[in-house]
Chain A
Amino acid sequence: MAQNCFHCSQPIPHNVALTVEVNQQPQAVCCAGCQAVANAILGGGMSEYYRYRDSSADKPEISNDDIQQDKVYDTDSIKKEFVWQESNEEVADIAIDGLHCAACAWLIEKHLKQQFPDIISINVNLTQNRAHIRWLKDQIKVSELFYQIRTIGYLPSPFKISELENKYHQINKSFQKQLAVAGLFTMQVMMFAFALYFGIVEQGFAEFFRWISLILSTPVIFYSGLPLIHSAYRALKNRSLNMDVPVVFAILGTYFASAYATFTQAGEVYFESASMFVLLLLTSRYLEHLAKTKATVISANMLKLLPMVAHKVKGENSTKTTVVHADTLHKGDCILVKAGQSIPADGYLLSKTCQVEEALLNGESLPIVKNKGDRVYAGSTSIDQSIYIKVSACGSATTLAKIAKHQETISTSKSKLANLADKVARQATIGVILLSLLTYIVWTWLGENALWYAVAVLVATCPCALSLALPTALSAASARLKKQGILIRNTSALENACKINRFAFDKTGTLTDGKFSIESVILYPSCNLTQQELLNHVAALEKPSGHPIASAFTDFKADIPIENYQLLAGVGIQATIAKQTWQVGSVRLVNKAASEHLKNLDDTQIYVLIDGQLIAHINVTDNIRNRVKESLTALDAPVYILSGDVHTKVKNTAMQLNTGYYASLTAKQKLSILKDLKDSQGGIMMVGDGINDALVLAQADISVAMNEAAELNKQNTDVVLLGSDLSKIPLLIATSKKLNRIVNQNFSWSIVYNLLALPLAVFGILTPWMAVIGMSVSSLIVVTNSMRLLKE
């Protein structure tokens, strides 16, 4: 019976019999890593973690290399980059990978507090995936902190908060305070206004109520209303108009006129209208700000992808390294990158040869062979050996950073509809101000107290509902999609998703899960093993290699002893089994063996040779993800696969999924094909991963990234799918259709309202309180209508 791991919930391989003891009951775990982590958690008395978590943990990967590498963070020059000194305390922000739920946050907080009595405070922020830790100076080494985080199965990395984020953080706090003041005081003012309007108080109290209202509404206008007043002031100073100008006129006009009426004890007061107005507007500003903050947090987390530390060496073959901050490298410096580490800067390879994985840059999981003099890029990983690199660019000059920046400029452009709504609202604003002036003049000429008529016009015709129509609908739709695991990064994508009539998919990691399975095994006459024996041998050979192809063989017993294990860079593996030299690898291996009678040579086949003689080949295919086919059918539109992978593999996948395909593409070719598809066929959606894909993704009308895609890419696409379920794409499109319907209703309603309210206000039929209620109700209708998007 297949059982799942107690810690990470993955199936337990049948040859593993490890357990941990939970409440005197043995529970099975899948690997030594999970066992160690679970024991650390349970041993610390934190078993509640398992009770309350709502998603299972990642499979822990604790390697001694990582722990060794953490030691460099103790070096002063590196440490000062992310650890702050405050009197006799030290403060650091640490980005943590693998956080899933509140239980994780609790676990880390509790574990670190137990381990280090010198920690003053620790706060794990779940929304930002970061821990903020404060400890007594010199009492704790950063590497030890990191080590403890690793022992409970999370991946720490140092993190530096950006200026922009700090600023947003401050604004966020002041918004919260202003909202609290506005909310609480407005409630009071409205209570008194209610009593005043309906005349349920005796005459003597009325005046007292007015004074109280004046006092209570003052902080609302001049403290909570500050962002509005600021924005209007800035606009006027630049001799332009924005939505806030008439709003602020109306608020201040109402407030001062009411204050005047209170002092002179004559005329009407409308303190509640002014306060309510501030509260409503402030709420919408705050929501807008929250959305913006989230975006910066995501992009700030990306910084951690580039390694912070570089090992500088005097020259090639020198083993004496100095640890420096990666940004301080210079062109021409020589650095050492150990196997398994990511490369901190762009440069040229000085070592003879190596395999690097550039999944972060191009999304393809297969390692690439680099020879001496080839360019290597920051963010890629050296897989098989330590290499020396001559630096050509570092920090923000690296290809990785440039691509990320390029992407940012692409995604900030606003959608057509939002621009149109802005434009209409701006012009309406000018109209509103002119109209209220006119109203004021005419009514004064008629010998009436014209101020309230003018205020009524300002308030009633304020294009508030119009300006709420789109943003509220968008945020409701994004919130709803978020619950389904679809993150919207660029809202115009959500608006336009329903117009998409072509789809392009990357293959590896998108349609397929990046793992391989064996399709067929062909034994040559020279082979005297059975198929099962052969596969067991191959599995034993593949086991030590980190190559993705090895994933095809994990189901086999790999217990045959091997000797002289050796990686043939870019070709395959060689080892000795029972005194025979076995070689397993790509077609290049066969060329070396000078075999001629083979046709259809390509990379989907693995060749097996004993003592240089070909004995078998194995066809492997990428595993197509579950439910991909149904999802693609549900799209009901032409689908293309654009892949950098070899022709036969892509064709295979395309045949199975019944799609069009383009294979063996470089990033540039992908880009031009996408352009062609776009030009001839209208809106196109591209789904993919990887950074090289990122440029291609940006070219698509809507770009979608999968969660398992490289982290950096995640924040550059319009849409991110959490988890690997492609059936979310039809859902995205359905929501987009619904969104457009609701936005149209909102626009029609708010325009109709403004046109209706206008004559009523101008002719003095509306008093300010009616106008405020009218305005609020129309906004409320728009908001409520938008909220329908939240429902199923």
Chain B
Amino acid sequence: MNVIYVLIPLAIIILIAAIVLFFWAVKRNQFEDLNKQGYSILFDDDKPDAKK
């Protein structure tokens, strides 16, 4: 059972990573317009030459 002393802190670190990621997403305005993003997968078939 002593493994719990490792697992729980590990879980907390992952948790903190998730929160950092979320904060980053909020900062980049990713939650501004939730209607549009759902469709983005449909459109994302840029032709290779359209890429930079």
Q: Could you list which residues of chain A lie within 8 angstroms of chain B, going by C-beta atoms?
A: 45, 48, 52, 101-103, 105-106, 110, 114, 123-128, 173, 176-177, 180-181, 184-185, 188, 202, 205, 208, 212, 215-216
Contact = CB atoms under 8 A, between A and B. Distances in A.
A181 B26 CA distance: 13
Given A173-B27, A202-B1, A215-B12, 12 more contacts: A45-B47, A52-B43, A101-B39, A110-B43, A126-B35, A127-B35, A128-B33, A181-B19, A185-B15, A188-B15, A205-B1, A208-B5
A52 B22 contact: no
B38 interface: yes
B36 to A, nearest CB: 5
6 contacts: A45-B50, A102-B39, A103-B43, A114-B50, A180-B23, A205-B1
A175 to B, nearest CB: 10
A188 B5 contact: no
B4 A124 contact: no
Nearest to A44: B50
Contacts of A101: 39
B36 A102 contact: yes
Given A177-B22, A177-B23, A188 B35 contact: no
Interface in B6-33: 8, 11-12, 15, 18-19, 22-23, 26-27, 29, 31-33
Nearest to A101: B39
Nearest to A185: B15
Contact of B12 (A102, A103, A176, A216): A216
A126 B15 contact: no
Given A125-B32, A173-B26, A188-B12, A103 B19 contact: no
Contacts of B29: 123
Interface residues of B, number: 27
A102 B33 CA distance: 10
User: Which residue of A45, A105, A123, A124 has the most chain B CB atoms within 10 A of its CB atom?
Assistant: A105
Contact of B39 (A45, A103, A181, A184): A103
Nearest to A205: B4
Contacts of A216: 12
Contact of B33 (A48, A126, A173): A126
Contacts of B43: 48, 52, 103, 106, 110
User: Which residue of B4, B15, B27, B39 has the most chain A CB atoms within 10 A of its CB atom?
Assistant: B39
Contacts, number: 66
B18 A184 contact: yes
B39 A180 contact: no
B20 to A, nearest CB: 10
A216 B43 CA distance: 41
A394 B29 CA distance: 36
A212 B8 contact: yes
B43 to A, nearest CB: 5
Contacts of A126: 33, 35-36
A184 B12 contact: no
Contact of B36 (A105, A110, A114, A212): A105
Contacts of A52: 39, 42-43
Contacts of B23: 177, 180
Nearest to B52: A117
A178 to B, nearest CB: 10
Contacts of B39: 52, 101-103, 106
Contacts of A48: 42-43, 45
Query: Chain B interface secondary structure, helix, strand, loop or mixed?
Result: helix
Nearest to A173: B26
User: Which residue of B1, B36, B42 has the most chain A CB atoms within 10 A of its CB atom?
Assistant: B36
A102 B15 contact: no
Contacts of B5: 208
B26 A176 contact: yes
Contacts of A181: 19
A125 B12 CA distance: 35
A125 B33 CA distance: 6
Contacts of B45: 48
A483 B36 CA distance: 17
B47 A127 contact: no
User: Which residue of B12, B27, B38 has the most chain A CB atoms within 10 A of its CB atom?
Assistant: B12
B41 to A, nearest CB: 10
Contacts of B22: 177, 180
Instruction: For the complex of A and B, list the 8 residue pairs with the smallest distance between their C-beta atoms, beginning with the closest.
Output: A102-B39, A125-B33, A180-B22, A126-B36, A106-B43, A102-B36, A126-B35, A105-B36
Nearest to B21: A180
A176 B42 contact: no
B9 to A, nearest CB: 8
Nearest to B31: A176
B21 to A, nearest CB: 10
Nearest to B42: A52
Nearest to B15: A184
Contacts of B26: 173, 176-177, 180
B42 A127 contact: no
A215 B27 CA distance: 26
B36 A188 contact: no
Contacts of A102: 35-36, 38-40
A48 B8 CA distance: 48
A214 to B, nearest CB: 12
B19 A180 contact: yes
Nearest to B27: A173
A114 B49 CA distance: 11
Contacts of A177: 22-23, 26
Nearest to A45: B47
A350 B42 CA distance: 56
A665 B38 CA distance: 49
Contacts of A188: 11-12, 15
A284 to B, nearest CB: 19
Contacts of A103: 39, 43
A277 B33 CA distance: 29
A487 to B, nearest CB: 15
Contacts of B19: 180-181, 184
A216 B9 CA distance: 11
A528 B32 CA distance: 67
Contacts of A128: 33
A125 B35 CA distance: 9
Contacts of A124: 36
Nearest to B44: A106
Contacts of B1: 202, 205
A104 to B, nearest CB: 9
Nearest to A212: B8
A180 B16 CA distance: 11
A778 B8 CA distance: 33
Nearest to B18: A184
Nearest to A174: B26
A564 B40 CA distance: 54
A101 B39 CA distance: 9
Contacts of B27: 173
B23 to A, nearest CB: 6
Contacts of A110: 43
A143 to B, nearest CB: 26
A181 B18 CA distance: 10
Contacts of A105: 33, 36
Contacts of B15: 184-185, 188
